[in-house]
Chains A and B, each alone.
Chain A
Amino acid sequence: MNAPAGFQRFVEVFFDGAIIDRYLPDLLSAMVTTLWLGAIIIVTGVAVGLVLACLRSLQVWWLTVPIVMFADILRALPPLVLILIFYFGLPGLGVMMSGPLVLFIVLAAVLAAFCEEIFWAGLTALPRGQWEAGRATGMSFAQTLIWVALPQAVRMGVPSLVNRSLAITKMTALGSVIGVKEVLAVSSSAQAMSGSATPLTMAAAAYLAIFLPAVILARWLERRFSWKV
């Protein structure tokens, strides 16, 4: 097998034009699914994480204990396990949820667990003087939390928040095991039907198209929010 022939074969396997044409519409709609799932997972996960960290900052045990348990358990369990339990286990209790709903709930909860820890780490790293300055000027605990402590905790957490958000959003690919029509599911079923590897190339390209801009945006965010405190 000479070199040009080898190259031709490579192109046929991974970049088959006919296959691309056939599956492109399906893949595009799968990208839309991945995108909106990712978006609502990030928004919900970060928001819930923020609220949990704020509640934890009140330092009352009956809030702290469940929040810490939630954060530790969700960070310890592989998300796939939770997804399978929710999708295949809960119907036994009469709780039926669609694949996308299960994927959303599990991944948003896992992201919330990580975000809570990131925000909390930022809050505890804040010098005590910042709190005292706020309280000494007559601001309430909540006002000091919102206007003084949180903005700084968020900035400290931006790099970890961004990385974690991307990592969790990529796990939408786990939806392929519970019938969510996202990028990996659609392309691997196309691969099975057509017997060609090209749909998988398309999947990789689709993920790059979604996540490369996200990674670049993340870099920008990290620069934008880093300054010496």
Chain B
Amino acid sequence: MAQTPMLEITALEKRFGTVEVLRSIDLKVGRGELVFVIGPSGSGKSTMLRCCNRLEEPTSGSIFIDGRNIVNCPAAELNRLRLQTGMVFQGFHLYPHMSVVRNVMLAQIKALKRDKVTARTRAMDMLDRVGLAHKADAMPSELSGGQQQRVAIARALALNPKVMLFDEPTSALDPELVGSVLKVMKDLRAEGMTMLVVSHEMAFAREAADRVVFMDGGVVVEQGPPEAIFGNPQHDRTRAFLSRVSHHAGAE
């Protein structure tokens, strides 16, 4: 039983009206694995991630989290189910009207029904973990983008998720702030968190990913260890994409 993957996507399809955005996606993320998803814009990476906590409704297929299919789960159970996945967005989406620590406490109190003292203790632990305990009483607008994103990570972690989903967590950041967020992700990996990450940080993928998945046109084109995908891609589409991004990275 211990070897069932933490996250398993099978035959996932997603259509928006008549537009097929995801087609027969199969993907496994083992316990404590960091799986990296790359692919051109519009290839369906975000949509796949958002299906994993049902911010998007899958059209068909199954998504198992810790062995349990979340796709046919009744709406009433959905809120409890979403606690199993922590989501980090490109745009942070901190609540601008509350202090940092209250941002991290809110869902603990409302969704997990923790009492305030417990929630605050947990929030301070999580803020400490992302190196921002000293900003607990600041308002989000007083933080840099990198700090805001780390608070968003702390907010998700505070709920003890089984899987963390990252959707381009560093794409909205100034280059000099990217490192602080990646470091937090690296720490999480070291602590054994299961993570599914959509990102364009290829260097980070090489360094930290257990597996890299290349998506294009709504399908998984190929996947494998980073050395294989980056060093010896099997598909033309993968090669074309990688040479595009490495050109881009080289130009910077």
Contact = CB atoms under 8 A, between A and B. Distances in A.
Interface string B48-69: 0000010100000000000000
Interface stretch (A10-18, A54-62, A144-152): A144-152
A228 B96 CA distance: 8
A130 interface: yes
B184 to A, nearest CB: 18
A1 to B, nearest CB: 62
B96 A229 contact: yes
B83 interface: yes
A132 B93 contact: yes
Interface in A140-158: 140, 143, 147-148, 151-152, 155
Interface in A118-132: 127, 129-130, 132
A18 B184 CA distance: 79
A143 B97 contact: no
B93 A138 contact: no
Interface stretch (B17-25, B105-113, B130-138, B241-249): B105-113
A8 interface: no
Contacts of B155: 133, 137
Contact of A136 (B53, B94, B106, B112): B53
A132 B85 CA distance: 13
A129 B155 CA distance: 15
A130 B89 CA distance: 11
A86 B245 CA distance: 71
Interface string A106-128: 00000000000000000000010
B208 to A, nearest CB: 23
A227 interface: yes
Interface residues of A, number: 21
Contacts of B55: 132, 135-136
A149 to B, nearest CB: 10
Nearest to A136: B87
B206 interface: no
B12 interface: no
A137 B109 CA distance: 11
Nearest to A133: B93
Contacts of B80: 138
Interface string B129-170: 000000000010100000000001001100100000000000
Contacts of A133: 87, 89, 93-95, 152, 155
B218 to A, nearest CB: 21
Contacts of A227: 96, 139, 141
B92 to A, nearest CB: 8
A138 B83 contact: yes
Contact of B111 (A129, A137, A228): A137
A85 interface: no
A138 B96 contact: no
A139 B79 contact: yes
B97 A151 contact: yes
B97 A152 contact: yes
B82 interface: yes
A11 B115 CA distance: 67
Contacts of B82: 135-138
A139 B110 contact: yes
Interface string B69-90: 0000000000111110111010
10 contacts: A129-B91, A132-B89, A133-B93, A137-B87, A137-B111, A138-B80, A138-B111, A139-B107, A140-B111, A152-B96
Interface of B: 53, 55, 79-83, 85-87, 89, 91, 93-97, 106-107, 110-112, 139, 141, 152, 155-156, 159
The 9 closest A-B pairs by CB, nearest first: A137-B107, A138-B111, A129-B93, A133-B93, A138-B83, A136-B87, A138-B82, A229-B96, A143-B110
